Amino acid sequence: MSTPLISVENLCVEIKTNRGLLQAIRGVSFDIDSGDSIGIVGESGSGKSITLKAVLGLLPNNAHVSSGKIYFAGQDIAKLEKKARRALLSETAGMIFQDAIAALNPVITIGNQIAEVPRYRLGQSASQSRQTALKLIEQVGISDAESRFDLYPHQLSGGLRQRVAIAIALSASPKILFCDEPTTALDVTIQAQVLRLLLELRRNSGLGIVFVTHDLAVVNEICDEIKVMYAGRFVESGTVDSTFNNPTHPYTYSLLKAAPDPDASVHRLFSISGEAPNLSEPVVGCPFAPRCFAGDTHCLTSEPELLKIAHSESACFKSKDHDKWAASDSKSGVK
């Protein structure tokens, strides 16, 4: 097997806070290659965005990678010179953000922002880079590129801004696009358009996609693989189809159950009781145990590893019983 474009091994990230060191990421591993699409889901504070930032070297000053390795095209980026690392990173990965208006520089026209990389990094002439930018604008599905070239970000709608942000990310021709909840701030129809655009890019140019979101429906739509994150770890990892139909971790199961179902006869939303653990204290036992319906006392004392179980990987002592959860649930009539 060839080396994957990006490979993350046992990544741990610590954040310094006023109340001490916070273990934001506690051992996360994944591989991604061009054409792959991975969805990382989890609730707020589970470490999804920090994972992306750590991989892309965008951690804020108070956070640092405490252990683990990140390989880009087989090279350990921690061992590379700053310049070489930046070059390798920008060749390999691009990123789009949740809030497109914040991801665009307010004082530069969108055309010039898109043309910047071709012009100042790839050394194209002014007119060449303009052509490249116009092409990119069209590629992300913005009509009338010429007349929109000279607009400022605040003159565009939310959906167009996100398309511009995608065009900027694509201008460096990355092989993997990291998406940090890019559709959360958009309304549903625009969201669908942006997702369709990402799917097209993936199909047409083999772009790999890492999609961080808390929206399970979105993952279902555009990802092949799903990784469920809880308290700084992946608790379940598998293909979208099998995971959605047959979750092997109680957290995934509860998440899926908490998603609103328009056909449900009972219109009361299910919610997971309790709250995510405080990561500034050491985690003892399974972090989900206090909120879990399937756990027992054993779960409170030792933390399960992410292990292969049936069709996916799951970090749960009870995952071999996953078939029974749905059965007992339907009997008690919650859903």
| Contact set with other proteins (CB under 8 A) | 56, 58, 60-61, 86-87, 89-91, 93-97, 99, 102-108, 116-117, 120-121, 165, 168-169, 171-172
Q: How far is the CB of 273 from other proteins (least distance, A)?
A: 34
Q: How far is the CB of 161 from other proteins (least distance, A)?
A: 11
In this complex, which beta carbon is closest to other proteins, that of residue 90 or of residue 242?
Answer: 90
Of 83, 23, 93, the closest CA to residue 52 belongs to 93
- What beta strand segments (E) does 90-232 contain? 93-96, 176-180, 208-213, 225-230
In this complex, which beta carbon is closest to other proteins, that of residue 59 or of residue 310?
Answer: 59
Q: How far is the CB of 16 from other proteins (least distance, A)?
A: 15
Q: How far is the CB of 227 from other proteins (least distance, A)?
A: 22
Cα(162)–Cα(160) distance, rounded to whole angstroms?
5
Q: 3-class SS at 92?
A: helix
In this complex, which beta carbon is closest to other proteins, that of residue 28 or of residue 96?
Answer: 96
In this complex, which beta carbon is closest to other proteins, that of residue 174 or of residue 247?
Answer: 174
In this complex, which beta carbon is closest to other proteins, that of residue 94 or of residue 287?
Answer: 94
Instruction: Compute the radius of gyration of the chain from its Cα atoms.
Output: 21
Q: How far is the CB of 269 from other proteins (least distance, A)?
A: 31
Q: How far is the CB of 105 from other proteins (least distance, A)?
A: 5
C-alpha pair distances (Å), 69 with each of 7, 63, 230: 8, 16, 20
In this complex, which beta carbon is closest to other proteins, that of residue 10 or of residue 125?
Answer: 125
Residue 143 dihedral angles phi and psi, to the nearest 5° = -80, 165
- What beta strand segments (E) does the chain contain? 6-17, 20-32, 37-41, 63-72, 75-76, 93-96, 176-180, 208-213, 225-230, 233-239, 307-309, 312-314
